[in-house]
Structures are given as C-alpha cells and as structure tokens.
Structure 1
Amino acid sequence: MCQRMPFSNDDLDFTYPLPADFENRPSCYICVYKGKVAIDPLNLPDHQTILHEDIKDVKTKRIVQYLGSLGEKLCYAIGLESQEEVPYGMQLVFLRDLMGQIDDRTLALAGRAVQLIDFELTSKFCGRCGIPTETLEDRGKKCPKCDLLIYPRLSPAVIVLVMQEDKVLLARSSHFSSDIYSVIAGFVEPGETLEHAAEREVMEEVGLKIKNIRYFASQPWPFPNSLMIGFIADYAGGEIRVDGEEIIDAAWFSRDELPNFPGKASISGHLVDWFVKKEEKRS
C-alpha cells in the first residue's frame, strides 16, 4: 500500500554535511522569506520558476542551508532578510500555492527549504539559557554554555482511514471549509506508539474503537513541520460522538455518496482514493 506522496523526494540525497569538493560542484538554490518562496511567475510550471543555477556569491549570504544533492548538483536554501532581497522579476508566494503548479521533486525541495530556513531563524539562541548557539557539523545547534542540543523540529502525526464493511468514516473539522470532509488525524504524544496514537485520536474525536491497524504510507508535511504517518483500520465498536471542538460532524459514507474531500496533494486524499478504488475492484 506504500505510495509516493507529494513533498517526499527520494531523488534527493540528504547526506550532511557538505561534500569536501562542494566549491567545485554545480549548484542551485531556492530563496525563502518568512515562509514564502520566491518564484518567477513567467516560467510556471517549469522548475526554473523557483530553482536557480550556480550560486556565485553563496559565501556572502548570511542565512544559507544545504538541502542535499541531486546527482552532482548541490541544492541550497537562501534565507532572505528583507523583501528588498527578492531577485528582480520574482515574487513571493506561499508554499501551499505551489502545490499543483510545479513538479513534485521541486515542490519537495521547496518544502525542505522552508523548514530548514525556519529552523535556522528559530534556533539562533538557546531555549534554556538564551545564549547564542553554535552550528554543529550534523546540522544541529549547541549552546556553548549549558550544552543544550537543538535539531530541526519534526512533529509526527497519525492520519487514519477507518472502514466499516463497505463504508468509510469521514469527519469535518472546525478548521475546514463547510463542505470538506476528511479522515481522522492528530499528533503523537510522548510515550505513545503510532498505533496507540491512532486508537486515541479516533476515540477522542469520534468516540469509536478501531482494530486491525495497518500502515499505508507517510508524507512530509511542511505546514509547518509535520510527518504524517497514514494508517488503515477497521471499525471495532461504538457510536459516533464528535467532540464538538476539533470535529463538528462525522458519518459513515459509501463510495457512491462521498462528500467533498481533500485532493491528492495530501495523504488524506490518497487514503480516500485508495478506499474508492478498493471498492470499485469489488464491484
């Protein structure tokens, strides 16, 4: 059931730090400012919209993060310090607005760039004692006073498609528009396994028990720093009782009566699409 998801990039070599011969390697870069990416609107959907070749002045940039390599080419993120630094002819757009506008490989690079620039900007000082941090060779930061280690934040979250015979459980979040339904999701808490988190989230949000939890796929989700781990599970008991806060409506739906649900830019759309295709094969 494992599938390749948007924002994942198996072609990118994440090995860190930079290779010893980095100065002699071809390079490209993505410009980021306050969570937005600088694009050339005239070149959509070409990858050159955001990916630019040959960093001539990388040593003069104050905020630079190495993203990884694509073959021989080294990829960097440049953190802009003001809107005035946006390259001529380009404009800033939110990462979400690039979904469906550029190829998946470049979108994954942009997602990684936004997250690593955010880490650089939010880890300048120690969260324990306030002292300026030092950069380590493995991308982490260290406080020279109290030895606190800091690494890019990653928040694991489970997302669960629950089935009861030929129906699927879909719910409407208070954060969604009025006609969008999706599967149950939530963050993993300290001390939990992923399976335990899936059981807890379904019980908390809709009051149902689940069983036969099995892995579907995972997806990096840079809004702002999540890793979505998708599961499929079977209904094991209970009546739907929404919490009224996070979830304001939930119901069982057959393939022929599905409401509007997220597209396949997110793993939730892939889960529902898997259910539809599974039921189609039965008929």
Structure 2
Amino acid sequence: MIEIGTATHPLPHADAKYILLAKQKVLTLDGEFLLSLYDFHPSSDMRSVYCGTFEDQDIFVCRFSQAPKGFDESGLRELLFETSDYYYGLLSRAHQLATWDADHQYCGRCGEPLTTKHAKEHAKICAHCNIRHYPRISPCIIVSVRKDDQLLLARPLTAPEGRFSNIAGFVEAGETLEQAVHREVYEEVGIRVKNIRYIDSQPWSFPHQLMMGFFAEYESGELTPAPDEIAEAGWWRYDDLPNTPNATSISGQLILAHVKALAESNI
C-alpha cells in the first residue's frame, strides 16, 4: 500500500522508482511499469510529481509529451485490469497526480503560472493571488439494483455490444450520495429504488473519479433506457448474467457481491 502522509516532497533520485506516462499510456520495459532512474533519460519536456512511498521507496510519476524510444505502451485501463490489487492504488494515484499536474499549470482565478508546490502536501500555490490548487477528486456513485432474484444491468452507448454493467454517474453539487443514486437510476433507466446501502469505494482514474458503490432494491416503474446514454437495459437472474466487468473494477465487485448475497438467501 502506498503511504501518502509524507511530510515533504523529495526530488527525483537514484534510489526511487518511477512510473512513466505519455499521452494516456503507461510506459513499460519487459512488462514492468515500476522503473529505476537508470531505465530512462529525463528530457526537457518531462514533468515529474512525487506520489509517496511504496515498499519503502519513494515513487515519482513522470509524464512525457512523446514516448521515448524503447518502451512498450499500455493503456491505463487495460493495465489496471491486468495488475493485482496490490498495485491498483499505486497506478491510480500516479495517474491522477500526473493529470492534476498537467491540468493545473496556471491559476484558475487569475491566470498566472503556478510555479510553487507546497512542501508538506500536494498543492500548488499561486504567487499572485495566494490561492491553493489541490488534486481534483470527482465523487461518483455506482449501484447494483436488485428485483427479487434479478439484477439490473445496462449497456451504455459507449460500451461494446453485449457488455453490461451497473448504473453509475457523477454526484451533482448539493446532493448526498443517496440522492445521486436515486437520480441517476431514474434518469438512466426510469425506475425508482429503495433501501440504498453503501458497500465499498474505489479510485477510478479516468481521469480523477472516486467511485462509491451501493446496493439498492427496485421500488417501482418500468425500465426506460435514456436514449442519449443507455443502449439497452434489462433484468437478469443472478445465476444467468451476461458479460460483465471483471472483479478488478468496483462494478465487477458489486455484481459478484450481489450474486453471492442472492445465492446465499436461497431466493
């Protein structure tokens, strides 16, 4: 597990490990994404951010505008699904911090360049108006809905044919998490839910979400997929589900947990 409560941000050094990014790709050598300083040559366009410590080593994420020669390129989503839970949080944190660094080079209040990072936390301070800019985290809900012995699954317009998942969406300003569950389910498939129960959470670095997972039960309404978001939606018996995300994602974890709960209840 990566330790993030460090007091200072050290500079890159030879004993540290590095995660390299270029154009939304993770750079690897011989299948490894945790590299040493001797595996690459820093360039003038490279930006680095300190992530914390992992296995008693300092970790930095470095972003290049173009991938240096000699590296293989892996999509973050594919790499997250392929790696173990042990490295999931490390990769997620590194990508989110690199995104924050790239997206916050200028002050959002006055437009002046941000050149100073606070020594005790991940924050950029504008020397002109003194505002601090922290890494952005966007809260989202994702919910597995049950109706008797069936689970609600939907296929977004962006998903491939035959790939189904849970209802999910961003929390809006002024909402509680439970209100967001009610709203997103109704907006996307036209039904009302009840008995909402929090299950678990997961960082989702596309680019900076925190997914908060719930169970809920069907209350009323007919499934009516939102035409601008959902290609199709339906109810599937818990022991006869279509193609769903694997257990690396919180969507897959919620589905598996709900299936287990339904199977144990002997419905």
Tell me the TM-score normalised to structure 2 length.
Answer: 0.88
Alpha-carbon distance, 1:145 to partner? 2.1
**Aligned mate of 2:49, from 57, 62, 65:** 65
Encode CA deviations 1:162-199: one digit per residue, 9 max, x unaligned.
11121111112111112111111100000011011011
**Aligned mate of 1:35, from 20, 24, 30:** 24
Query: What count of residue pairs does the alignment treat as equivalent?
Result: 263
SS in 1 for 2:188: helix
Question: How far apart in 2 are the matches of 1:271 and 1:166?
Answer: 15
Alpha-carbon distance, 1:278 to partner? 2.0
Alpha-carbon distance, 1:17 to partner? 4.0
Aligned counterpart, 1:143 = 126
Are 1:15 and 2:39 an aligned pair?
Answer: no
- The code of the aligned residue for 1:125 comes to Y
Alpha-carbon distance, 1:264 to partner? 1.5
Question: How far apart in 2 are the matches of 1:101 and 1:247?
Answer: 27
SS in 2 for 1:147: coil
Question: How far apart in 2 are the matches of 1:233 and 1:186?
Answer: 15
Question: How far apart in 1 are the matches of 2:244 and 2:84?
Answer: 22
Question: How far apart in 1 are the matches of 2:214 and 2:254?
Answer: 8
The 5-angstrom pairing of residues 126-205 of structure 1 reads 126-133=107-114, 134-137=116-119, 138-205=121-188
Question: How far apart in 2 are the matches of 1:216 and 1:106?
Answer: 22
Are 1:210 and 2:193 an aligned pair?
Answer: yes
Question: How far apart in 1 are the matches of 2:38 and 2:89?
Answer: 20
Unaligned runs of 5+ in 1: 1-10
- The code of the aligned residue for 2:51 comes to L
Are 1:280 and 2:263 an aligned pair?
Answer: yes
Contact 1:163/1:233 (8 A) holds in 2: yes
CA RMSD of aligned residues (A): 2.5
Unaligned runs of 5+ in 2: none
Question: How far apart in 1 are the matches of 2:193 and 2:218?
Answer: 5
Question: How far apart in 2 are the matches of 1:24 and 1:123?
Answer: 24
- The code of the aligned residue for 2:210 comes to L
Alpha-carbon distance, 1:235 to partner? 1.3
Contact 2:14/2:36 (8 A) holds in 1: no
Aligned counterpart, 2:102 = 121
Given the superposition, is the C-alpha separation of residues 202 and 101 from structure 1 closer, same or farther in structure 2, using an over 3 Å criterion?
Answer: closer
**Aligned mate of 2:92, from 111, 125, 147:** 111
Contact 1:174/1:247 (8 A) holds in 2: yes
Encode CA deviations 1:107-149: one digit per residue, 9 max, x unaligned.
4322222221121111111123221013222211122223332
Aligned counterpart, 1:5 = none
Tell me the TM-score normalised to structure 1 length.
Answer: 0.84
Contact 1:36/1:114 (8 A) holds in 2: no
Alpha-carbon distance, 1:228 to partner? 0.4
- The code of the aligned residue for 1:136 comes to H
The 5-angstrom pairing of residues 202-281 of structure 1 reads 202-281=185-264
SS in 2 for 1:273: helix
Given the superposition, is the C-alpha separation of residues 280 and 98 from structure 1 closer, same or farther in structure 2, using an over 3 Å criterion?
Answer: same
Percent identity between matched residues is 36
SS in 2 for 1:256: coil
Question: How far apart in 1 are the matches of 2:252 and 2:124?
Answer: 36
Are 1:75 and 2:59 an aligned pair?
Answer: yes
Encode CA deviations 1:21-50: one digit per residue, 9 max, x unaligned.
x8899421111122211101x3x3xxxx01
- The code of the aligned residue for 1:99 comes to L
Contact 1:16/1:139 (8 A) holds in 2: no
